[in-house]
Amino acid sequence: MSRTVAFVGLGIMGGPMARHLAAAGHDVVGFNRSPEKTRALVEAGGRAAASVAEAVDGADVVALMLPDSPDVTSVLTDGVFDAAKPGTLIVDFSTIRPDVARDLAAQASDRGLRMIDAPVSGGQAGAENAALSIMVGGAEADVADARPLLDVVGKTVVHVGPSGAGQTVKAANQLIVAGNIALLAEALVFLEAHGADLPAAVEVLGGGLAGSAVLNQKAPKMLDRDFGPGFRIDLHHKDMGIVSEASRSAGVVTPVAALVAQLVAATRAAGDGDLDHSALFRTVARLNGAEK
């Protein structure tokens, strides 16, 4: 069944996702603060709106892919909540604080709207290939209603609990990813110091228990010193802040998370915030007296 979908946020992740929905036959109306980012959606069969309110007007579903909690809050409270028709389903693909997700879902319900949190993992490649992992929090009926759309952009779609649960699982995902990248960076600097054949080492490591999606996707970037953004350090710094705050609020001790958060913060402080999170390698290299 074709639906009218307002899609707010057409960046590295949101742009491909919106285009997949349009290609699947949905009437997708996109809005982005940088209007030029709507061009690819229009070329894919979607439409461009000049404002959030214009995009949302008449939509069955409102999809969001925005950088941070304040951005999502602002778009909802200053545009979507007032422009959406009763019963509209809001699908937030952004990565935000779990407590903010719960609060916004409650506000949506008070206004006769429905909202689920559906943060994604898989990076730019996952978005472009419609192969994202989507962790979904919200009421079962609302998740079921959104499922046909989620299946268009995702390969693994799992309902993990009530509102905010998707964001909690995403925080855990970001902790695991950052930790893996940090350890991979240390391992490669270690191997390089010993004069190892790095491509050969990566190949054999990938065939054993050390093999992972992080190793497969990020080791080549580290070896090639290609840190063009797929997922920026700035965003992972924000996500590690979510991990820290959520750990503190639950009284959970996460010592490795604290160390990794400091490494991410150091990378950002060194001016690498716009680089891919594989640029943690640069910080590890600098700590060992090398500029990479």
The tens digit of pLDDT for each residue in 179-208 reads 999 999 999 999 999 999 999 999 999 999
The residue written with tokens 């609060």 in the block is 103
Q: Output the pTM of the full model.
A: 0.93
How confident is the model at residue 290, as a pLDDT?
81
Of 171, 185, 168, 178, nearest to 259 (Cα)?
A: 178
How confident is the model at residue 292, as a pLDDT?
47
pLDDT tens profile 234-278:
999 999 999 999 999 999 999 999 999 999 999 999 999 999 999
CA distances from 73 to 66, 99, 208, 220 (A): 10, 12, 44, 37
Coil, helix or strand at residue 96? coil
Give the class (CATH, top level) of 168-287: mainly alpha
Query: CB-based contacts of 134: which residues, under 8 Å, 6+ apart?
Result: 93, 118, 119, 120, 121, 150, 153, 154, 156, 157, 158, 166
CATH architecture label of 4-162: 3-Layer(aba) Sandwich (3.40)
CATH 1.10.1040.10 domain residues, the chain: 168-287
The residue written with tokens 């019963």 in the block is 87
Whole-angstrom distance, CA of residue 12 vs CA of residue 128: 9
The DSSP letter of residue 276 is: B
Q: Which helix (H) or strand (E) holds 272?
A: none
CATH 3.40.50.720 domain residues, the chain: 4-162
Flag residues of the chain having pLDDT under 70: 291-292
Whole-angstrom distance, CA of residue 158 vs CA of residue 169: 11
How confident is the model at residue 291, as a pLDDT?
64
Buried b (16+ CB within 10 A) or exposed e, 41-79: beebebbbbeebbbbbeebbbbbbbbbbbebbbebbeeb
Task: Indicate which residues carry an active-site annotation.
Answer: 170
